Structure 1
Amino acid sequence: MIIAIGFILLGFALMELSGWAIHKYLMHGPLWMIHKTHHEPSKHAFELNDLFSLLFGSIAVILIFLGISELDYRFWIGIGISLYGLLYFILHDVLIHRRIKWFERPKSLFLRGIFKAHQAHHRSNKKDDAVSFGLFVVPKEYFKEEEK
């Protein structure tokens, strides 16, 4: 069971690391035409950028199917990627962008830091001016309390 938890954490961590790199170098690079729909105002439930979620989700499903018969590392890494995707949806789409209004704005210091980092990322709707490309791992400067 410890090994399974380790592979779940590995899948989660790999998603954050690869997600950061893909976001910075591909989405804000050659795939900007798809990703820019996320940086523009929209009144639609879906945006072209949601294709990236389908891609990452497909990778998780394939790994789960490949590893389910033996419950091997592929299965658990797929579970970790799926867990990342679920938390990404709740944090990014529900809490930050309010695409579904289930919860109020975040109140915890950790969630507010993530929120501020994402707001900083969206201050620019240009391909080359963005900062803070991760979701869960963001620079510590965003976790500082504002002085009143």
Structure 2
Amino acid sequence: MAMECLSWFIHKYLFHGPLWFMHKSHHQKAKSFFEWNDLFAGLFAAVSLFLMYADRDNLSYRFFIGLGITLYGLIYFVVHDWFVHRRFKTFKSNNTYLQAVRKAHKVHHKNRGKEKGKAFGLLFVRKTVLKN
């Protein structure tokens, strides 16, 4: 739950803020399988691996923060990249919740620009967003 909140904040205020120069590739028609925005996944993976490795002997909060980032990254990959954007065509579902997640993300992508975005989260879907 904490990772979803942090992810929302990062997406709204950093990706659609000073890091837009990289994230905008995600809001444009894909020219190839990879986009500049994918570098964020590598950055988050590096941070999580560093935290887990650095705290591997103690297994204190740093290790579990790294593990949380890793698990959220896996969920993000499956739900966002695989299901919502269909980067791999093998995951289809008529599940009501997953369809709401897909619709909310489409609302987010209606706006191709940096400003005036909606629905910055991934797993929490507001009913007001779905009414658009």
Scaled by the length of structure 2, what TM-score is found? 0.91
- Match for residue 34 of structure 1? 22
Counterpart amino acid of residue 95 in structure 2: S
Take 2:20 and 2:67, find their aligned partners in 1: how far apart are those partners? 29
The within-5 A match list for 1:58-97 is 58-97=46-85
Q: How far did 1:43 drift?
A: 3.6
Take 2:18 and 2:74, find their aligned partners in 1: how far apart are those partners? 27
Scaled by the length of structure 1, what TM-score is found? 0.82
Q: How far did 1:15 drift?
A: 2.2
1:128 matched to 2:129? The reply is no
- Match for residue 33 of structure 2? 45
The structure 1 segments of at least 4 consecutive aligned residues displaced by more than 6 Å after TM superposition are none
Distance 1:142 1:113, change over 3 A: farther
User: In the TM superposition, what whole-angstrom CA distance separates every residue of 1:101-140 from its partner, at most 9, and x where no partner exists?
Assistant: 1212x31111111111100000110111310001112213
What stretches of structure 1 of length at least 5 have no aligned partner?
1-12
1:103 matched to 2:91? The reply is yes
Cα RMSD, aligned residues only = 1.6
The number of residue pairs the alignment matches comes to: 131
Give percent identity, aligned residues only.
Answer: 47
